[in-house]
Amino acid sequence: MHSFWIALRWPFGVLVTGWNYMWRTTPMWRSQRDGAWPQDGPPPVDPALPREGVQLPEDGVGPLFRRRYRASVSGADRDATALMTEVKADPNRVAPGMLAHFVKTTGASEVLAVGDEFTVRMPGPWNGPIRVVEVGPRSFRFVTLDGHLEAGQIEWRAGDEDGALVFEIESWARGGDPLAWFLHDRLPMAKEVQLHMWTWVCERVSKYVGGNLDDGIDIDTLRVELPET
């Protein structure tokens, strides 16, 4: 039944995404190469944190994709710490609301802490629960939970480099089940939906800080085959 509803929702999500990105002009520089396990896997999760409900890469299906979206913003009106303090208070300040809206289900509002949980709501079959596993002055990291189409982690971070504000999103994920693997790895349009969602976050960060993406957005992908267990 779950797969049936995903099949119904999927075309709508693709159409919405395609319409919104048809006229985008930000240059995107893509590269893909082979990676290796475990060095290209995600950072370790603190073993003291609850493991219940967590979907680690080892729990998933198919290859793992390590992707980094990098945007160098010139002319920003605040530094990396100031930006991430505001984004940690509410990720929706830079999330593309029509495609990805963060709904906090556990934790206090306007504060981000380890153990907080969200459901990211999207128009296609990408809704999914996530939990915060690390928070720093200029970064935070989530792990996916049961029910998410992906098994892995994602990190948002920022830094100050050579007079520019650099914002990055890095993910380490594979399909959470065979259907998710098929959508994630075998349908090119599914990959495009995800790619454009995160690059739109980078664009919104640039606008949020009043800056410019002079060099576009770099998208680096490593495809990693995990050993059979």
Kindly tell me the sign of the dihedral angle through the C-alpha atoms of 77, 21, 100, 176. negative
Whether 187 shows a pLDDT value over 70: the answer reads no
Q: Is the pTM of this model over 0.85?
A: yes
User: How many structural domains are present in the chain?
Assistant: 1
Q: Which pLDDT score, from 0 to 100, does residue 229 have?
A: 65
The token pair that represents 71 in the structure block = 């945007």
Strand order in the sheet with 139-144: 28-34, 217-224, 61-73, 164-175, 150-161, 139-144, 128-136, 117-121, 101-106
Calculate mean pLDDT across residues 107-128.
87
**Count of H-run helices and E-run strands, the chain:** 4, 9
Is 180 inside a domain boundary?
A: yes
Q: Percent of the chain beyond pLDDT 90? A: 62
**pLDDT tens string 29-61:** 999 999 999 999 999 999 999 989 999 898 888
Task: 136-144: list long-range contacts, CB under 8 Å, 24+ apart.
Answer: 137/81, 137/84, 137/85, 138/80, 138/81, 138/84, 139/84, 140/84, 140/88, 140/112, 141/43, 142/118, 143/45, 143/54, 143/55, 143/56, 144/54, 144/55, 144/173, 144/176
- C-alpha closest to that of 201 among 105, 31, 75, 83: 83
Q: Which domain, by its residues, includes 74?
A: 2-21+28-42+52-224
Nearest C-alpha neighbor of 195 from the set 182, 204, 184 = 184
- Average pLDDT, whole number, for the chain? 86
Whether residue 90 contacts residue 107, with contact meaning beta carbons closer than 8 Å, is answered with: no
- pLDDT for 115 beyond 60: yes
When comparing pLDDT for 190 and 210, which is higher?
210
Predicted local distance difference test score (pLDDT) of residue 49: 92
User: What's the confidence (pLDDT) of residue 127?
Assistant: 77
| Residue 2's pLDDT band (cuts 50, 70, 90) | very low
In a domain? residue 47: no
With cut-offs at 50, 70 and 90, classify the pLDDT of residue 179: low
229 domain residue, yes or no: no
* Spatial CA neighbour of 18 closest among 149, 180, 190: 190
Which pLDDT score is estimated for 23?
53
Residues 50, 132: contact at Cβ < 8 Å? no
Helix, strand or coil, per DSSP, at residue 180: helix
CATH of the domain at 68: 3.30.530.20
